Amino acid sequence: MWSRIKSWLRRKCIKVDGKTAKLRISTKIACLYGAILFVMLCLMSFVTGLGIYFGFYNQAEREMDLSIRNVLQQLDAGKAFTREFWLNEPILPGVVLRVTDVSGQVLINTDNHYPTVEDVDAHVVKHKPLWASEQMEVSKLHNMVIYHEKIDTVYRGEMLQLHFYRTITADEQFLRRLQFFVLSGTVLSFILALFAGYFVSNRILRPIRTLTQTARKIEVERMDRRIPVPESHDELSELADTFNHMLDRLQAGFKQQQRFVSDASHELRTPVTVILGYSDLLSRWGRTDKSVLDEGIDSIRSEAEDMQQLIEKLLFLARADQKRQVLHKENLELSELVADVMKKMQLVEKDHTVELRENEQGEIYGDQVTIRQMMRIFLQNSSKYTPKGGHIWASSHRSTDGKFMLLELADDGIGIAKENQKKIFERFYRVDSSRTKAEGGVSGTGLGLSIAQWIAEQHDIKISIDSDLGKGTKFTLKIPLVG
């Protein structure tokens, strides 16, 4: 039996035999509201009992005060304790009067069944209740509680004592019964409140437990589980919906990361395989055949350079994803940057006609190094996918509202199909079938446009593309002007 109790307490997270676990929220809520209700009931019971006690004793005190005043007024008027004295009923019902002389002998007694004066005086309580009058005394004897007051007076030259009594025994019994029922009701209400609070909180917090259980079942390999959203539109349904949206984003990010790692591994495998192949070739024939030696060295160097560029781009994107890529932004004259980039491209580009057309002045705010890098990426793509003898050009001018510079980087190359234009900024994405030179293909990592897009986002630059197969491609960069 005790083992079952301990197991239940452990499930409810209560300390047993030195083992402690965390309290469940439903248990905390039930205990908290049960404790609050218990304190409120106790406070209400105390105030109610105090008020009832005060009311009963105050009523008895008023009846005795009125009886005392009536008797004293009669005596002051010179009336004797005759039949005429009692005609006006100076003593209210329930109040008892006894008159004694100096020796204590009872001269007048309105109730012969009442305890004697000596018994009443002998059983006076030392500590009166809080609600009792300071001028009156309280005596408890047998099952009776008597409220009484003693007054000395002179009657026809003789010293007399007037003893007024008021029995509140029946009231005390009623109050005790009331106390018992109130206390029992308080305890019962507290127990019911605990069970009701636990049941209600357990039902309300059920979606949270479902969320927790689902979260525990979700693994990296299986992120397709989702939280069932309650039909009621409350905070819990909003929490479940938010959690599901978070899982969607995590799943998409994880898939992107998996694809990124897979593509990066594939891109690195090719140059490593080529380098190993030529290394094996050189170890066999390179020592004796100079042509094999030269071919192997050139190929290894070319593959190493491609691998170095790939690694640099991967490191750039990794720093960008971790928000560790530092940008040093300042006010720049865009026309000077465009002119410098196009001039250098004209020097190195021998197979295409490179032309700078319109180049308006406009001051922008950005990082000079990455802005140059972004422009070179678009121009290098134009060079790769434009056949020999083709044209590459750039043009910059202000927008009609005067708030932006529109930088156009265009070519008359092979172009991009409409269905592929939204994918070209994805990492490692290359449309080999449509973006390949007739002379044998284009080398590349598929990371350049991803880097260019990140740079554009860091400078609030909007990129738009206009391209058709066989008609060329034009990228338009909408760059904010300073001020």
User: Which residue, among 415, 416, 406, has the nearest Cα to 386 in the 3D structure?
Assistant: 415
The yes-or-no verdict on residue 314 having pLDDT over 80 is: no
Type of residue numbered 45? S
pLDDT at 219: 66
The yes-or-no verdict on residue 9 having pLDDT over 60 is: no
Mean pLDDT of 397-411: 93
pLDDT at 440: 44
Of 32 and 398, which is predicted with more confidence? 398
Q: Provide the strand spans (E) within 142-260.
A: 144-155, 158-167
The yes-or-no verdict on residue 414 having pLDDT over 70 is: yes
The yes-or-no verdict on residue 411 having pLDDT over 90 is: yes
Residues facing residue 146 across a β-bridge:
139, 167
The yes-or-no verdict on residue 438 having pLDDT over 50 is: no
- Confidence band, pLDDT 50/70/90 cuts, at residue 406: very high
Quote the pTM value.
Answer: 0.51
pLDDT at 23: 65
The yes-or-no verdict on residue 312 having pLDDT over 50 is: yes
- Phi/psi for 327 (5° steps) reads -120, 135
Residues 15 and 145: their CA atoms lie apart, in Å, by 49
pLDDT at 266: 64
Mean pLDDT of 298-321: 79
The predicted-structure confidence for 97-154, as pLDDT tens digits, reads as follows: 988 888 888 888 888 888 888 888 888 888 877 667 777 888 888 777 888 888 888 8
Q: Locate all alpha helices (DSSP H) within 282-405, ordered by sequence.
A: 290-321, 334-348, 368-384
The yes-or-no verdict on residue 227 having pLDDT over 80 is: no
The matching CATH number, chosen from 2.10.10.100, 3.90.190.10, 3.50.50.60, 3.30.565.10, for 328-480 is 3.30.565.10
- Annotated domain spans of the chain: 81-170, 235-320, 328-480
The matching CATH number, chosen from 1.10.287.130, 3.40.50.300, 3.40.190.10, 1.10.10.60, for 235-320 is 1.10.287.130
Q: Is the CB of residue 444 less than 8 Å from the CB of residue 430?
A: yes
The predicted-structure confidence for 336-391, as pLDDT tens digits, reads as follows: 999 999 999 898 888 999 999 999 999 999 999 899 999 999 998 899 899 999 99
What secondary structure, in 3-state letters, does 400-439 show? CCCCEEEEEEEECCCCCCHHHCCCCCCCCCCCCCCCCCCC
137's enclosing H/E stretch is strand 137-141
- Confidence band, pLDDT 50/70/90 cuts, at residue 175: low
The yes-or-no verdict on residue 313 having pLDDT over 60 is: yes
Cα–Cα separations (whole angstroms), residue 362 to 88, 109, 366, 368, 474: 115, 119, 13, 14, 21
Exposure string for 344-368, b = 16+ CB within 10 A, e = fewer:
ebeeebeebebebeebeebebebbe
pLDDT at 436: 41
179: CB partners within 8 A, 6+ apart: 49
- Confidence band, pLDDT 50/70/90 cuts, at residue 220: low
The yes-or-no verdict on residue 1 having pLDDT over 60 is: no
Residues facing residue 124 across a β-bridge:
139
| Mean per-residue pLDDT over the chain, rounded | 80
The predicted-structure confidence for 52-100, as pLDDT tens digits, reads as follows: 767 677 788 888 888 888 888 888 877 877 777 777 788 888 888 988 8
The yes-or-no verdict on residue 177 having pLDDT over 80 is: no
The yes-or-no verdict on residue 437 having pLDDT over 70 is: no
Chain-centroid distance of CA 379 in Å reads 48
